[in-house]
Structure 1
Amino acid sequence: MTVDIAQATPTKEDLFKKAYTDIITEPFEEKYEDKWEEDAYWVAVGTFKVKSKEIGYEDPFEVLSKYGITSFEQIREKLKGGPPACFRSGWKSPVIGTAIDTVAVIAPLEHVNGPKYEGKERIVVLDFWATWCPPCVRAGPELSDLAEKYAGHVAIVGVNNESMFREKDYDLGKVKAFLEDNKEGFRYTVYVDSREGHARNSVYLKTGYKAIPCVIVVVDGVMTFVGPPQEAFKAALEEALVTIPVSGE
């Protein structure tokens, strides 16, 4: 079942989270380290406290504590320190340029969707994702389009791991049900990682990228790109296609 979030009525906590994002986090995302604005931050904290009360929370940490946030000083330190290196402009994964056996990576995994991966394509895109990740779900249709457009030339292989960052039940049925409910968006090859996290541990964690979706472009057995499936990924794929053009081009 697909839920139209745009049509849903926001809850009290939804409004609180939006206020937190709009007032506290987004205005300071690009102002870390030497760009930090101390006075502006504390003004924003005051504004957020007022907004929190308007929404119905006298103590904003009634909600924030659920996420391990215990003080505005803690938030300040995180924002002032800036994002992890992998989210900063110009970052490149330490695994770029290293060899990878994609067949060996996929072999222990459970096939749940699309054609099985046999390792025939010279260009491979590994897509690490989870059903609970909204950006992963949004990326599905575009990756599906690419898989169909370059079928037989570029292999798009989804690697699902529900326990990518925290332990969750290993439930193949849940993933299969999700794919059935979202079959229009997920039309490409998908495997579910092993209970032990074979693909996560042997590949994803070594990339240094700390979010999903995470795509890895592999050209002739060498990793050439690691990051989100956005503009830089598209450029990396286009570069690979120039190197190894589709037959007939």
Structure 2
Amino acid sequence: MPVADPNSPEERLKTAYNDILSDPFDEKYEDTWEEDTYWAAVESFKLKVGEIGIDDPFEILKKFNITSYQSIRDRLKAGPPACLRAGWKSPYIGTKVDPLAVVAPLKHVNGPEFNGQERVVVLDFWATWCGPCVRAGPELSDLSEKYAGRVAIVGVNNQSMFRPRDDDISVVTTFLEEHKKDFRYTIYVDNEEGHARETVYKVSEYRAIPCVIVIVEGVVTYVGGPYKEFLAALEVALDEPVAAKEE
């Protein structure tokens, strides 16, 4: 997959959007929203767009479902979904899950097939168009090798997680061939019905990708991103027994 040119108008626009209209408002939502500050930022963004040489930024931003300054404002003011706020805990934790049943209807495309022998299983929901997912690939590969025999890292790709369905198999296999050094762990592609997405990912109530779900002895112990909290949860999973929710 070609590397985007950071100096192209589209990449410069995306950078300006993040730097001026998105990142500064990460913690300014609901009661802390600053209306005047936002609209001042819009004017700064318009000036930057002019410097870049783009007439209508929404011709590009609409690819990311961004259609107007008002819609940006409404989304920022509403704040992130509950699952991305401090202190969130998935209701899925403590639930019994059979990882073999999750992957059974899926298409195996990378790494060794999952046989369910490991005590700890990590389901990694991702898509090739998701930048953070791609960046997480090398670390998940390293973990799969570091804990081989103890932890199974099982990627579950679904290109249509939040957008119209692509030709998942060909898109993913081409991507994996181009990124074989970074994606070395077991990966499956979700089926046309979105079996894994519907029965596991959506039930977890985490509304972002990458999403990793840690399953220890058939019980969910962590749901979230593949970040430091995940690494801490994985260390705990390797050493401590778990208990499922009472039915």
Scaled by the length of structure 1, the TM-score of the pair is 0.90
Paired residues, number = 241
Q: Is contact 1:170–1:195 with CA below 8 Å preserved after alignment? A: no
Q: Hey, what's the Cα distance between the residues in 2 that align with 1:183 and 1:68?
A: 31
**2:198 is equivalent to residue 210 of structure 1:** no
Q: CA deviation at 1:163?
A: 1.5
Q: CA deviation at 1:58?
A: 4.3
Task: Give 2:43's match in structure 1, choosing from 42, 46, 49.
Answer: 46
Task: Give 1:237's match in structure 2, choosing from 234, 238, 241.
Answer: 234
Task: Give 2:69's match in structure 1, choosing from 46, 67, 72.
Answer: 72
Query: Structure 2: which amino acid aligns with 1:10?
Result: N
Task: Give 1:55's match in structure 2, choosing from 38, 41, 52.
Answer: 52
Task: Tell me the residue number matched to 2:150.
Answer: 153
Q: Percent of aligned pairs with the same residue?
A: 63
- The runs of 5 or more residues in structure 2 that have no matched partner are 242-247
Q: CA deviation at 1:173?
A: 3.2
**2:190 is equivalent to residue 193 of structure 1:** yes
Change (3 A) 1:102 1:27: same
Task: Tell me the residue number matched to 1:247.
Answer: none
* DSSP 3-state at the match of 2:196: helix
**2:133 is equivalent to residue 144 of structure 1:** no
Query: Structure 2: which amino acid aligns with 1:92?
Result: K
Instruction: Write out the 4+ residue segments of structure 1 that deviate beyond 3 Å after TM superposition.
Output: 57-71
- The runs of 5 or more residues in structure 1 that have no matched partner are 245-249
Q: CA deviation at 1:105?
A: 0.7
Q: Is contact 1:16–1:52 with CA below 8 Å preserved after alignment? A: yes
Q: Hey, what's the Cα distance between the residues in 2 that align with 1:140 and 1:234?
A: 14
Task: Give 1:28's match in structure 2, choosing from 15, 19, 25.
Answer: 25
Change (3 A) 1:33 1:193: same
State the Cα RMSD in Å: 1.8
Q: CA deviation at 1:236?
A: 0.5
Query: Structure 1: which amino acid aligns with 2:130?
Result: C
**2:116 is equivalent to residue 119 of structure 1:** yes
**2:98 is equivalent to residue 101 of structure 1:** yes
Query: Structure 1: which amino acid aligns with 2:88?
Result: W
Q: CA deviation at 1:171?
A: 4.1
Q: CA deviation at 1:202?
A: 0.6
**2:88 is equivalent to residue 87 of structure 1:** no
Instruction: Compare 91-100 and 12-21 and name the one that shifted more.
Output: 12-21
